[in-house]
Amino acid sequence: MKINPAHLGFDIDGVVADTGGAFIRIACEEYGISSLTLEDITSFDVVDCLDMDQGIIEAIFGRLLDDPLDAGLQPMQDAVSVLHSLAAKAPLTFVTARPHEEPIARWLEHFLQPDTFKSIRLIAMGVHDRKTSYIKNLGLKYFVDDRLQTCRKLAEAGITPLVYNQPWNKNGHDLPTVNNWQDIQALCAE
Ligand SMILES: [Mg+2]
């Protein structure tokens, strides 16, 4: 499988951004919950797998959604360098279920080179379940996402999902996966 970068799109949280890592750090630094590790997040719906006050969970995700830069959200290892190398071949496309585009646009602008950022396509859907039709309309054939339900829907619609391996998506599927950004780079290499 060799992927033309022009046909590849990316989810942001859990793929480009280390949202799980940021969640754990904020839980520790701001709420004193120090026992949490990434492996404890075994469900995409964090409320279902962590024995943690729902109000705190919502407050942390609220911060990550409203001001990801201020919340200290970091890119995944190698994400920025691989995105720049892919951007040399085709504009980057991001489709996120985040409700607001502006905070995550500022986050991308902070980490991407100005020329790369200027040419991105960024769609903030607000919901998970309409991603498929958008991704199809954008002409994408491959999409990297960490939410299994989204990946299954993409596969049903004829788009090849690449499940970005995370503790919350490891079980119960036989879809193609990537472990890290080096894997993504390798799939796109000529
Ligand atoms: Mg995600």
CA of 97 to the centre of ligand 1 (A): 8
| Domain spanning 5-18+75-188: CATH 3.30.420.40 | no
CA of 6 to the centre of ligand 1 (A): 20
CA of 33 to the centre of ligand 1 (A): 23
| Whether the model pTM is above 0.75 | yes
Structure tokens at 84: 């720049």
pLDDT tens readout for residues 110-157: 999 999 999 999 999 888 778 999 999 999 999 999 999 999 999 999
CA of 38 to the centre of ligand 1 (A): 15
Q: Please name the amino acid found at residue 30.
A: E
C-alpha radius of gyration, the chain, whole number: 16
For the chain, domain boundaries: 5-18+75-188, 19-66
> Which alpha helices (H) appear in 77-180, and where do they start and end?
79-87, 101-111, 114-118, 131-137, 148-156
CA of 148 to the centre of ligand 1 (A): 9
Above 90 in pLDDT, residue 26?
Answer: yes
Residues around ion ligand 1, judged by CB within 5 A, are 11, 13-14, 146
